Amino acid sequence: MGLWNDTDSPFSSAFQAAEVVSCPRCGSDTYSDDILGKIVCRHCGGAFDKDTHALSYSFDIRDAEEAGLPEKKLREYMCKTCGTAMVTRKGTDPSFCPFCGGKEMHERELTRQFRPDQYIPFKITRDDAILRLKEFASGLKAVPKSFMTEATLSKVMGIYVPFWLIDTDNHLKIRAGATRINGENAGKRFDIDVEHDYKLTGIPFDGGKGINDTLMEAIEPYDYSDLKPYDDLCLKGYIAERFDEKPLDMTGRIIKRLYMYSNQAPSYLCKDYKDIDIKMNDSAVNNMRQRYVLLPMYYLCYEYEGVRYSFAVNGQTGEAEGDMPVSTESLKRKQLPVKVMLVLPAVLLVAWLVYILFFHTVVVTGVMDAIADCGFFIILFIVAVILGVGNRRYVGDADYEAMVRENRKAIAGSILDTFENIPDVADKLLADAAVAKERIMDQVPGVGTYISSEDGIEPHIVEKSLTATRISDSKSDAR
């Protein structure tokens, strides 16, 4: 299937010689599927977005399964529970999986390729990381007591996480309305044309599936000035997660983040203007380059009431982040005053009725006559007590708590299997998850973190026409 030579002008009226477009994954011929709206490989079945297909050729093809010489000083472990592959030096034998807590670890000799380009050494100790986690937890409400125990914090493990650092060459070309913030025309609004070439350097993308991508983005950024050429000695006392996602597999994520940065770039680069309203955007990413690096992190997988929660500490800067569960015991303590306020009036009322109707009658008529006269109220009181404790189903506290946990596990399992039976709970869970993700994504570093300032060249800005004046000028003209 032939495509236009000029990919920038696919609908040019002058048809040039058609060329075959190769699959970036296996090199076989591809064709354009108009129904799917994708470029499809005839051999491996890979499907690629048309907008990102050409960009994918910027990535080097590095196959995680490529055979290499056995690296005798390194060992590979695979968790039988979650399937995560980890690499470490001999003598550093993990007794459990740090990603899921599983204790069945399969050891094998490392024969597949494992050779990162660079790594950043750990700068904070494990004790420092535990202290950061405690400080992080102390700022939250209703933290389970078990989180602060030695048994939980002893599972904090130092891990080198595989990252792909993406470097890009970018061309900014926009037409926008903007307000000047300094100079003689400060406060006035102009139409501006902006052109600028800039580089983005070291945008990190997590190459492993063992750790949530959003959690990793929340503990950015890393200081890449500490990058060193990879050496197997860096794994002594630590483990490294093996990458199982290549840049080609993450093209959608990469393009999405680059698109976010392209929208942020005008406000960052045009420092003399504010309230920039983009009317035309011809910006483009021209080239991409990649580096395979290991970045340090301390990780804790914490299970509470059948649900796993993850916490991460940047092994270089100490930035901590995670999703802390809410303690049911703390909630009960908070609800206790409310329960007392609701129950106490009823208890006082019943006590008053018992005194008036029973003990007062005993003094006047005797015990047997009092029982006969107040039997109805005594029976009513017994029924109220039974109904009041009925929700405990006549079991002890330990049995009751166990029953509650089992019920919660069953509910959680049904939610994961299908949302059809409890749509209200599902909607709430999805909404809470969206809010939590948005909260963490807000912490992703902005474009200014990755813009390279090596060239020091200012954007070329042309003020074309005055579109609005300051309010004060308009009022003076009206007078």
Judge whether 89 lies within some domain.
yes
Residues 314 and 350 reside in one and the same domain? no
Per-residue model confidence (pLDDT) at position 470: 44
Range with lowest mean pLDDT among 97-111, 236-250, 296-310, 400-414: 400-414
What local confidence, expressed as pLDDT, does residue 259 receive? 86
Same-domain status, 112 and 18: no
Residue 296 confidence (pLDDT) above 90? yes
pLDDT tens digits, 267-295 = 898 888 999 998 888 888 888 888 999 99
pLDDT in tens, 12-60: 333 333 445 666 555 567 767 666 667 777 666 666 665 555 555 555 5
pLDDT confidence of residue 369: 63
In sequence order, what are the beta bridge partners of 312?
299, 321
The number of residues making up the chain comes to: 479
User: Does a structural domain hold residue 69?
Assistant: no
45, part of any domain: yes
| Residues 408 and 298 both lie in one domain | no
d(CA 239, CA 290): 23
Confirm whether 460 is domain-assigned: no
The encoded tokens of residue 349 equal 């009322």
Domain boundary among 326, 344, 359: 326
pLDDT (0 to 100) of residue 374: 62
pLDDT digit string, tens, across residues 408-465: 555 555 544 544 444 444 444 444 444 444 444 445 788 888 887 656 678 888 887 7
DSSP H or E segment with residue 453: none
Instruction: Indicate whether 6 belongs to any domain.
Output: yes
160 and 100 within one domain? yes
Percent of the chain past pLDDT 70, that is, above it, reads 55
Backbone phi and psi for residue 33, each to the nearest 5 degrees, phi listed first: -100, 105
pLDDT at residue number 370: 61
User: Which value, to the nearest 10 degrees, does the dihedral of the CA atoms of residues 430, 431, 437, 441 take?
Assistant: 140
Give yes or no for a cis peptide into 221 (omega within 30° of 0).
Answer: yes
The angle, 0 to 180 degrees and rounded to 10, between the axes of the packed helices 423-441 and 397-417 is 80
On the question of pLDDT at 347 being above 50, the answer is yes
> 260 with 125, same domain?
yes
Task: Say whether pLDDT at 111 is over 60.
Answer: no
One domain for residues 311 and 379: no
| Residue 183 maps to a domain | yes
Residues 306 and 407 in one domain: no
Same domain, 261 and 134: yes
Query: pLDDT, tens digit, for every residue of 48-104?
Result: 665 555 555 555 555 444 434 345 667 777 787 777 777 877 666 677 787 777 777
Element (H, E) at 282: none
Quick one: 133 and 206 in the same domain? yes
Q: Name the maximum alpha-carbon separation found in the chain.
A: 116
Given 326, 349, 374, the domain boundary residue is 326
Q: Give the domain range for residue 32.
A: 2-58
Q: What is the pLDDT of residue 384?
A: 60
**Same structural domain for residues 274 and 413?**
no
Type of residue numbered 264? Q
Amino acid at 142: A
Q: Are both 216 and 280 inside the same structural domain?
A: yes
- Average per-residue pLDDT in the chain? 71
- Quote the strand ranges of 210-272, DSSP E: 228-229, 239-241
Q: Strand ranges (DSSP E) for 315-384?
A: 320-322
Domain count, the chain: 3
Q: Taking residues 248-277, what's their average pLDDT? A: 87
The answer on pLDDT for 198 being more than 80 is yes
The per-residue pLDDT for range 203-236, each reduced to its tens digit, is 988 888 777 778 888 888 899 999 999 888 888 8
Question: What was the pLDDT predicted at 322?
Answer: 84
Least confident of 118-122, 153-157, 223-227, 467-471: 467-471
Q: Check whether residue 128 and residue 224 sit in a common domain.
A: yes
Q: How confident is the model at residue 337 (pLDDT cuts 50, 70, 90)?
A: low
305 occurs within a structural domain = yes
Does any domain span residue 14? yes
Give the integer Cα–Cα distance in Å for 187 and 174.
Answer: 21
pLDDT value for 25 = 57
Q: Chain centroid to CA 292: how far?
A: 21
Residue 7 CA to residue 16 CA, distance in Å, equals: 12
Q: How much of the chain exceeds pLDDT 90, in percent?
A: 11
CA dist., res. 312 & res. 156, Å (int): 9
Among 326, 344, 376, the domain boundary falls at: 326
Q: Which residues contact 167 (CB under 8 A, 6 or more apart)?
A: 199, 200, 201, 202, 203, 288, 289, 290, 291
Identify the pLDDT of residue 119. Answer: 93
Q: Are 228 and 119 in contact (CB under 8 A)?
A: yes
Return d(Cα 218, Cα 88) in angstroms, integer. Answer: 26
